[in-house]
Amino acid sequence: MRKFYLTTAIDYVNAFPHLGHALEKVQADVIARYQRLRKKDVFFLTGTDENSLKNVQAAEKEGISVKELVDKNAQKFYQLKEALNLSFDDFIRTTQERHQIGAKRFWLAIKKDVYKKKYRGLYCLGCEAFYTPEELKDGLCPEHKKKPELVEEENYFFRLSKYQKKLEKIIESEKIKIVPEKRKNEVLAFIKKGLEDICVSRSKQRAHGWGIEVPGDKDQIIWVWIDALSNYLTGIGYGTDEQKFQRYWPADIHIIGKGIARFHCVFWPAFLLSANLPLPKKIFIHGYITIGGQKISKSLGNVIDPFDLVKKYGTDAVRYFLLREISPFEDGDFTLEKLEKRYDSDLAKGLGNLLLRVISLAKRIDGKSLRIKLQRPALRAIIKKEERNWKKAIEDFKFNEALNSVWNLISFGDRYLEKEKPWVLLKEEKLKRKGKEVIESLLFFLEKIGKLLQPFLPETSEKIFQQIKSKNPQLLFPKR
RNA sequence: GUCGGGGUAGCUCAAUGGUAGAGCGCUCCUCUCAUAAGGGAGAGAAGUGGGUUCAAUUCCCACCCUCGACACCA
């Protein structure tokens, strides 16, 4: 059996998950389920990035220990599994021992490209971050309006510059395929501008002692991005389970948001080259969700809690919205009105109503002799056509188009019913046989729709199969 | 500021050097198996200014608007 390894980004746990996190996990879940249906040995990894300094600050704010904070919030991210019906195989936390062992090993693997250098910069104690002179406003930190201190620190640096040519070639030739194309171009433009070595550690003092220690140097903490990126290795046993690691690496797809493209498309491949490990095959970069046209932000108070949405509308309705309404490559907008519109038109009146119509008709006929069979050739052509579109769309990550194909079928089903009018046929003894064939064909048709929905709306798909079997009509998406 | 994408119907998006398509919304008609669901018909569109061409929404230029990228801070 061929393997298929996919990952999502691991999330910062300094706050609870919002709708944007849900989008990425659901997209990844569709791919995972699709590949499983194609009989691949799928490993789907997600998790949390817990070694960031932000967590230290967030914990201080809440007056709890860092450990307490990350445990609490990581739990919340894990719970997306149930809320959104995610099928990930493992959930890695960067505070876990298995990760720390592997991350240290990864550090050693790239050590030949790491050297020590004194670094000087303007450091704002409030932000706990360095600023370039251009970023300052009147010489003051734009956030805290304080004068930053000139801090000098000896840190480790990675010879990124050494890999410029190689990286350019890898991206250009699509040895790592970046989807969509426009992100590839951005990454290439970035590389072509020239790559400088990057700082890959910070002092333990500046890290407040939080994070993974540099092997052999008690005073330095590994840069969080090396730490975080290595989760893709440690999650499948790098440093702890060699056999499993050999089985699944390299990743077939990394699924990430546009904000972290550079880390995945430039730094990550460079580290892997340095460590002499194979490169991931594809990187899919999705857009962000806006709420009523605005960025998701705490200060705007527009954070949408995915758990609340699921509670109110159901898992599959939320999945459906994210996959159908949100463009996979661009930013997409969420409003409750849009979600409700999709629910009413597409789910209740579209899919739900068609299923109900057909199952109710089937119920009228003696169940034993009723088959699920394509008796009428009129449906065959459209099934073939839409199935082909569906497959192509999924493989191109165009989830919205794949669903569009399924809804083309649903709409065709409604038109077909109108044309054949099986409820009329059933009334006349002479035409009964034809009516039965129409319904048998429609059962087949619905079963096909159910199959095409499997990766997207697994629960709904299962309900469709059950109703086809039981001929017991039930509302899939009740009126709200 | 530099680089790149985009500006098409009320909304979201598509295709195309020669009659501009879809979905949703809107108007009208209609079936009754169905969650007052379904089906049919119709109205409705190319940022601005120039150029190339027999012909431009499509190619080129300028301008305006919009979105994204521009390094160690996710």
Please, which pLDDT band fits residue A254 given cuts at 50, 70 and 90?
very high
Write out pLDDT tens, residues A189-225: 889 888 888 889 988 888 888 899 999 998 899 988 9
SS (H, E, C) A412-450: HHHHHHHHHCHHHHCCCHHHHHHHHHHHHHHHHHHHHHH
Q: Are A289 and A333 in contact (CB under 8 A)?
A: yes
Give residue A36's pLDDT band: very low, low, confident or very high (50, 70, 90): very high
- β-bridge partners, A407: none
Residue nearest to nucleotide B69 (CA to C1'): A186
User: CA at A349, C1' at B24: how many angstroms apart?
Assistant: 14
Q: Average the pLDDT over A368-385 and give the result.
A: 81
How much of chain A exceeds pLDDT 90, in percent? 56
pLDDT at A135: 60
Say if strands A217-222 and A213-214 run parallel, antiparallel, or are unpaired.
antiparallel
- Place A229 in a pLDDT band, splitting at 50, 70 and 90: very high
Active site residue A144: yes
Q: Is the Cβ atom of A329 within 7 Å of strand B at any atom? A: no
pLDDT digit string (tens) for A258-290? 888 889 999 999 999 999 999 999 999 988 888
For the ranges A131-135, A161-165, A355-359, the one whose mean pLDDT is highest:
A355-359
> Which stretch of A4-8, A59-63, A301-305 has the lowest confidence by average pLDDT?
A301-305
Residues 197-226 of A with CB within 7 A of strand B? 198-199, 223-225
Q: Say how far A84 CA is from B20 C1', in Å.
A: 41
Rounded CA-CA distance A441/A281 in Å is: 41
What is the CA A334 to C1' B10 distance in angstroms?
19
Which of A332, A270, A285 is closest to A183 using CA atoms?
A285
Is A286 one of the annotated active-site residues of the chain? no
Give yes or no for CB of A349 within 7 Å of strand B: yes
What mean pLDDT is predicted for residues A351-368? 88
- How far are the Cα atoms of A72, A109, A147, A408, A469 from residue A449, in angstroms, in the given order? 40, 49, 63, 10, 15
pLDDT for A435: 86
Q: What is the pLDDT of residue A446?
A: 95
Q: Residue A355: enclosing H or E segment and its boundaries?
A: helix A353-364
Report the pLDDT value the prediction gives residue A124, as an integer from 0 to 100: 66
- The whole-number pLDDT of residue A26 equals 94
Helix (H) or strand (E) run with residue A290 in it: strand A289-291
Assess whether A208 carries a catalytic annotation: no
Q: A118 catalytic, yes or no?
A: no
A199 as an active site residue: the answer is: no
Distance A403 CA to B22 C1' (A): 15
For position A20, what pLDDT does the model report?
87
Phi, psi at A233, each rounded to 5°: -90, -50
What's residue A133's pLDDT? 63
Instruction: Point out the least confidently predicted range of A166-170, A329-333, A342-346, A402-406.
Output: A329-333
Whether residue A393 is predicted with pLDDT greater than 60 in this model: the reply is yes
Nucleotide at minimal C1' distance from the A357 CA: B34
Report pLDDT for A413. 94
A176 CA to B45 C1', in Å? 41
Checking DSSP bridges between strand A41-49 and strand A90-93, what pairing results, if any?
parallel
Specify the pLDDT at position A121.
72
Residue A289, pLDDT score? 86
Compute how many other C-beta atoms are within 10 angstroms of the C-beta atom of residue A90.
12
How far, in Å, is the CA of A382 from the C1' of nucleotide B55? 37
**Cβ of residue A9 lies below 7 Å from strand B:** yes
Chain A window 142-171, residues with Cβ within 7 A of nucleic strand B: 160
- Whose CA is nearest the C1' atom of nucleotide B14? A401
In this structure, of A49-63, A94-108, A455-469, the range with the lowest mean pLDDT score is A49-63
Q: What is the pTM of this model?
A: 0.93
pLDDT-based confidence at A126, cuts 50/70/90?
low
Q: What is the pLDDT of residue A327?
A: 85
Above 0.90 for ipTM, yes or no?
Answer: no
d(CA A180, CA A298): 29
Mean pLDDT computed over A351-361: 95
The Cα–Cα gap between A466 and A462 comes to: 6
User: Which listed residue (A182, A295, A312, A427) is catalytic?
Assistant: A295
Mean pLDDT of A100-119: 92
pLDDT above 80: residue A43: yes
Nucleotide nearest to A261 (CA to C1'): B74
What's residue A118's pLDDT? 82
- Is residue A102 over pLDDT 90? yes
- Tell which CATH architecture fits domain A336-470: Orthogonal Bundle (1.10)
User: Does the pLDDT value for residue A131 go beyond 80?
Assistant: no
* Per-residue pLDDT at A480 exceeds 90: no
Which pLDDT score is estimated for A331?
83
- pLDDT given for residue A377 in this prediction: 79
Q: How many angstroms separate the CA of A381 from the C1' of B41? A: 26
Residue A379, pLDDT score: 86
The answer to whether A478 CB sits below 7 Å from nucleic acid chain B is: yes
Is-catalytic flag, A117? no
Q: Which residues contact A181 (CB under 8 A, 6 or more apart)?
A: none
pLDDT tens string A73-91 = 999 999 999 999 999 999 9
Residues in a beta bridge with A93: A48
A135-190 per-position pLDDT tens digit? 666 666 655 566 777 777 888 999 999 999 999 999 988 899 998 888 888 898 88
Give yes or no: A124 in active site.
Answer: yes
Question: Does any strand B atom come closer than 7 Å to the Cβ of A330?
Answer: yes
